[in-house]
Amino acid sequence: MSGCWLECTLMPDQLLREWPPGYGGVERVAHELAAVWGGTVWSFDAQGLRASEVDALPVTYPRRCLPCTPALGRLRLPLPSRALWQLLRSPQPLHGHLPSPGVLLLLVLARLLRPRRRVTAHWHCFLEPEAGLSGHLYALYQRLALLVVPWLGGVITTSPLLREELLRCGCRPDRVAVLSCCLSAEQEAGALALPERLAGPERPLQLLFIGRLDSYKRLDWLLQALTTLSHPWLLVVVGDGPRRLLFESLSRELFSGQAERSVQFLGRLDESAKLAQLAAADVLVLPSDRSNEAFGIVQLEAMAAGIPALAFQRRRSGMGWVGQLPGLRWAQTPDTLAAVLQRLAADPALRARLGQQARARYRALFARGVWLTNLSTWDQR
């Protein structure tokens, strides 16, 4: 990318949802945008992590943290302060990452105080609220957000499916742009450098799961699907979370004495160790069951590494769209997962072809050069 393009790029203040950037999809997307734009990043400590966690990602851009209220559950709102007033009165473009009630509030205030200021939002996902008081609050927040977003100067979302849903909810077509998630330059280079998978003698299907071990990731569905396979397989689980012990117990229960040989829980790995697991795998499975998982950046890591990524098709989510390949037509539903895994386990040649298609789809739609071009188009609008 030329220096001229970087000089012409808008330099917005960027409002993050959390401090520090973290490992999640929202934080990684926000980090990549901030690294390219180079403007000041304003954030508030939405989860109270600033004092106890170090940055998960290398930060080169300036950041400022806004004082905020004590936590009410996971809700924190910025408090009046000189820094907040400076942010709201600035003439620079402002881009906020949703979902976040605090970010939504500040976008509204910035728009009201300076109607001509470019105030835009990043719509990462539609929430699927659960039962109970917190679920009702999430639903209320989302209704308010869908009223506010069409009134802003523009909105970025991550897939054509989410764009269509935002249009259905009242956004203007000329104000909604698709900017898919991306990998860092280092992640992309490492994954694309891995050799292409070749169809060789039949060997056990090696599956990979990468993600936070929590309820909506549905690792349990993947484990249950594997009980039906008639061909050998190995599952490697990368990640940690509150349900790790439960998933390990379920694995031992389902596979009895063979669990330690068939399912390996490796915990959180650094980038080089994770890349080694991608190099050894035949397929990545992301069995999330909610639209809160709207994209799945780990799918990009897998596809760039030359392996297919399986995910379910969910209403208001683009994660099923990300990894769709012409050589593997399936319903992308939980009840068809076992059947598609059986096909892959039985056919090494199919796995090799799908790996080639996955890398080609990555290069065509999600490569960093494509992402930078699309970001430039958004900045120039």
Residues 167 and 193 occupy one common structural domain: no
pLDDT (mean) for 49-64: 79
Is the predicted pLDDT of residue 119 greater than 60, yes or no? yes
- The DSSP 8-state label assigned to residue 336 in this structure reads G
Whether residue 165 is found in the same domain as residue 242: no
Flag whether 374 is in a domain. no
Amino acid 8: pLDDT:
34
Integer CA distances (angstroms), 113 to 3, 34, 85, 87, 328, in order: 34, 24, 10, 11, 51
- pLDDT value at residue 207: 98
Say yes or no: 157 and 220 in one domain: no
Q: What residue type is 265 in one-letter code?
A: F
Give 4's contacts (C-beta < 8 A, 6+ positions apart). Answer: none
Task: Please identify which residue in the block is written with the tokens 């999430």.
Answer: 138
**For residues 43 and 16, is the Cβ–Cβ distance under 8 A?**
yes
The per-residue pLDDT for 63 is: 87
pLDDT tens digit string along 187-237?
Answer: 999 999 999 988 777 789 999 999 989 878 999 999 999 999 999 999 999
CATH number at residue 99: 3.40.50
> N- to C-terminal Cα distance for the chain?
19
| pLDDT for residue 262 is more than 60 | yes
pTM, to two decimals: 0.91
The two tokens of residue 47 are 């989860």
Rg (CA), the chain: 21
- 331: containing domain: 185-364
* Three-class secondary structure of residue 110 per DSSP: helix
A 10 A CB-CB count for 32 gives 22
Residue 24 lies in a domain: yes
- Position 210 in a domain: yes
Q: What phi, psi does 165 have (nearest 5°)?
A: -70, -40
Give the total number of structural domains in the chain.
2
219 & 360 share domain? yes
Of 128-142, 188-202, 243-257, 350-364, which has the strongest mean pLDDT?
A: 350-364
Q: Which of 13-17, 162-166, 253-257, 259-263 has the highest mean pLDDT?
A: 162-166
Alpha-carbon span 157 to 122, nearest angstrom = 6
Q: Which residue has the tokens 């699309």?
A: 374
For residue 199, the model assigns a pLDDT of: 76
DSSP state of 68: B
Is pLDDT of 301 > 50? yes
Contact indicator for 312, 304 with CB cutoff of 8 Å:
no
